[in-house]
Amino acid sequence: MNDPHLGRTIVSADELAARVEHLGKQITADYADDPPLLVAVLKGAFMFLADLAKQIDLPIEFDFMAVSSYGAATRSSGVVRIVKDLEIDLTGRQVLIVEDIIDSGLTLQFLRKNLLARGPKSVEVCALLVKDGLQKVDPDLKYEGFRIPPDFVVGYGLDCAEIYRNLPYIAEYLPEAS
Cα 26 to Cα 31: distance, rounded to the nearest angstrom: 9
Cα 158 to Cα 108: distance, rounded to the nearest angstrom: 16
14 catalytic per annotation: no
To the nearest 10°, the Cα dihedral for 91, 97, 98, 103? 160
Residue 119 has what pLDDT? 98
Kindly indicate the confidence band of residue 81, based on its pLDDT and cuts at 50, 70 and 90: confident
Q: Which residues pair with 96 in a beta bridge?
A: 38, 124
CB count in 10 Å sphere of residue 72? 8
Q: What is the pTM of this model?
A: 0.90
Residue 130 has what pLDDT? 93
Question: Domain boundaries in the chain?
Answer: 14-69+81-153
Q: What is the pLDDT of residues 100-139, one digit of tens each?
A: 999 888 888 889 999 999 999 999 999 999 998 766 667 7
Catalytic residue among 30, 103, 132, 151: 103
Mean per-residue pLDDT over the chain, rounded: 91
- Specify the CATH number of the domain 14-69+81-153: 3.40.50.2020
Residue 107 has what pLDDT? 84
Phi-psi region of 16 (alpha: psi -120 to 50; beta: other; left: phi over 0): alpha
